[in-house]
Amino acid sequence: MPDCNNIVRAMFFISLFGYARVLENGLVRTPPMGWMSWGYYMCGADCEQNPDKCLDEKLILSVADTFYNEGYQEAGFEYIIIDDCWSEHHRDRDGRLVPDSLRFPNGMKYISDYIHSRNLKFGMYTNVADVTCMRYQGSKGHFKVDADTFAQWGVDYIKVDGCFVGEQYLNNAYIHFGGYLNKTNRPMVYSCSWPYYIEFIHNKKPDYPTISKHCNLWRNYHDVVTSWSAVKNIIQHYEDEYSGLEKYHGPGHWNDPDMIDYITLWVKPRMPRKGDIYPSYSLALVNVSGQKRTITVRPSNYGLNCTDGYSVMDIFSKRFLKNITFEDSIDVTVPSEDVILYTLFPL
Ligand SMILES: *[C@@H]1O[C@H](CO)[C@@H](O)[C@H](O)[C@H]1NC(C)=O
Ligand SMILES: *[C@@H]1O[C@H](CO)[C@@H](O)[C@H](O)[C@H]1NC(C)=O
Ligand SMILES: *[C@@H]1O[C@H](CO)[C@@H](O)[C@H](O)[C@H]1NC(C)=O
Ligand SMILES: CC(=O)N[C@H]1CO[C@H](CO)[C@@H](O)[C@@H]1O
């Protein structure tokens, strides 16, 4: 005999999961960290005129060496990503993308193998239109062959841009390209510029529930450039939009502030440790202004209720600072243009 109670319960859980469904390909349990060529090198195709801003094999391998030798890998920097301008202007006879033969003479599989031999991950770039934003070969009409090519090259992360196409096309193309990535059977982090183009080019509201079902991360805002004011503007954008974006953000699916990090997280539930009964949180205190300033945090304001109190850890120094009750306040002085990150562990 079917147990009605259990059926009701099962249906309840199905609808609950249905509502919160997001892309689950097992990747990026924490926000991906790494290096992308665009922020500083930009197109980097004119190596003769501009040898110090040359996007080529030598540059990419040197980034892998730097990550490996200089402690970046230990700090969590993992992805090395080639942005726009890496290809020839024509495809090969089988319709496949071809890396620029002067700048990438050994091809992309060679670079990918080198990066993997250092236990790091390799990322690449394309656009959903006929051409990329810098007018190299784009993926329109070639989604399957391009997804397969990236998989064959051992790509671990693919940034897909959205220049030069309409809103309706964007809303379909990202879903289809993601489908072809999935069919390659190679897990690749899928980074979509989708909401950025919907919001800032087409002036419409991005459909975040759909976006978070198909992408591992998505660009919310303008490109970062190598200036502190550009980074500050991005932080300010997240501060303004936080209540709309926050619910789509979590392991496997992230708001993408372009090339900066922890800063999107202000107060987030922390994964419980085994045996934890009480909820807990991590707090990131960010001050982008020019002045020093003290702020007060009271755990009870965030629904923390462990009657035995909490131990406060400074994450950067990995030191337990003090024990507090949930009604105590912590006064934190955040130096100007700095970040303090605390996690509260229930006692
Ligand atoms: C493909 O999608 C399924 C269902 O969402 C997922 O379980 C699987 O990990 C994905 N595979 C790849 C290679 O992305
Ligand atoms: C503490 O808060 C959690 C999450 O809001 C709740 O489930 C739990 O019942 C609360 N416990 C007590 C003792 O208030
Ligand atoms: C916090 O309390 C725990 C458990 O009583 C204790 O082991 C620890 O030393 C205390 N930490 C501090 C910083 O006082
Ligand atoms: C998060 C934080 O501490 N923000 C402060 C940074 O400093 C300015 C100026 O002192 C304050 O107005 C902010 O509240």
Residue-wise pLDDT tens digits, 221-268? 666 555 666 666 666 676 677 667 767 777 777 767 654 472 333 656
Residue-wise pLDDT tens digits, 191-230? 999 988 998 889 999 998 999 999 999 887 666 555 666 6
How high is the pLDDT of residue 67?
92
More confident residue, 29 or 294: 29
Distance of CA 163 to the CA centre of its chain: 19
- How many angstroms separate the CA atoms of 30 and 314, rounded? 19
3-state secondary structure the chain: CCCHHHHHHHHHHHHHHHHCCCCCCCCCCCCCCEEECHHHHCCCCCCCCCHHHCCCHHHHHHHHHHHHHCCCCCCCCCEEECCCCCECCCCCCCCCCCECCCCCCCHHHHHHHHHHHCCCEEEEEEECCCECCCCCECCCCCHHHHHHHHHHCCCCEEEEECCCCCHHHHHHHHHHHHHHHHHCCCCCEEEECHHHHHHHHCCCCCCHHHHHHHCCEEECCCCCCCCHHHHHHHHHHHHHHHHHHHHHCECCEEEECCCCCHHHCCEEECCCCCCCCCCCEEEEEEECCCCCEEEEECHHHHCCCCCCCEEEEECCCCEEEEEECCCCCEEEEECCCEEEEEEEEEC
Q: Is 308 in the pocket of ligand 3 (CB under 6 A)?
A: no
Told to judge if 113 belongs to the known catalytic residues of this protein, a careful annotator would answer: no
How high is the pLDDT of residue 265?
32
Name residue 36's beta-bridge partners.
Answer: 81
Q: DSSP characters for 281-302?
A: EEEEEEE-SSS-EEEEE-GGGG
How many angstroms does the Cα of residue 338 sit away from the middle of ligand 4?
11
Residue-wise pLDDT tens digits, 143-180? 999 999 999 999 999 999 999 999 999 999 999 999 99
| Least confident residue range of 33-42, 46-55, 185-194, 280-289 | 280-289
3-class secondary structure, 86:
coil
Residue-wise pLDDT tens digits, 312-332? 899 889 899 999 988 888 888
To test the pocket of ligand 1, the residue of 17, 21, 22, 24 to mutate (highest count of ligand atoms within 8 Å of its CB) is: 24
Ligand at minimal distance from the CA of 281 is 2
Active-site option among 130, 148, 223, 328: 223
How high is the pLDDT of residue 263?
31
